[in-house]
A and B are shown apart, each in its own frame.
Chain A
Amino acid sequence: DVKVTQSSRYLVKRTGEKVFLECVQDMDHENMFWYRQDPGLGLRLIYFSYDVKMKEKGDIPEGYSVSREKKERFSLILESASTNQTSMYLCASSPATRTFYGYTFGSGTRLTVV
Chain B
Amino acid sequence: AQTVTQSQPEMSVQEAETVTLSCTYDTSESDYYLFWYKQPPSRQMILVIRQEAYKQQNATENRFSVNFQKAAKSFSLKISDSQLGDAAMYFCAYRGGANSKLTFGKGITLSVRP
Contacts and interface: CB of A to CB of B under 8 A. Distances in A.
Given A100-B95, A102-B50, A108-B43, A42 B100 contact: no
Contacts of B50: 101-102
Interface of A is mostly: strand
Interface string A8-44: 0000000000000000000000010101000011111
A44 to B, nearest CB: 8
Q: Is the interface of B mostly helix, strand, loop or mixed?
A: loop
Given A100-B33, A101-B50, A102-B35, A42 B104 contact: yes
- Chain A's interface size range is 20 to 34
Nearest to A40: B106
What class of interface size applies to chain B in its complex with A? Answer: 20 to 34
A102 B92 CA distance: 12
B105 A42 contact: yes
Contact of B100 (A31, A35, A43, A88): A31
A40 B9 contact: yes
Interface of A: 31, 33, 35, 40-45, 48, 50, 58, 88, 90, 92, 94, 96, 100-103, 105, 107-108
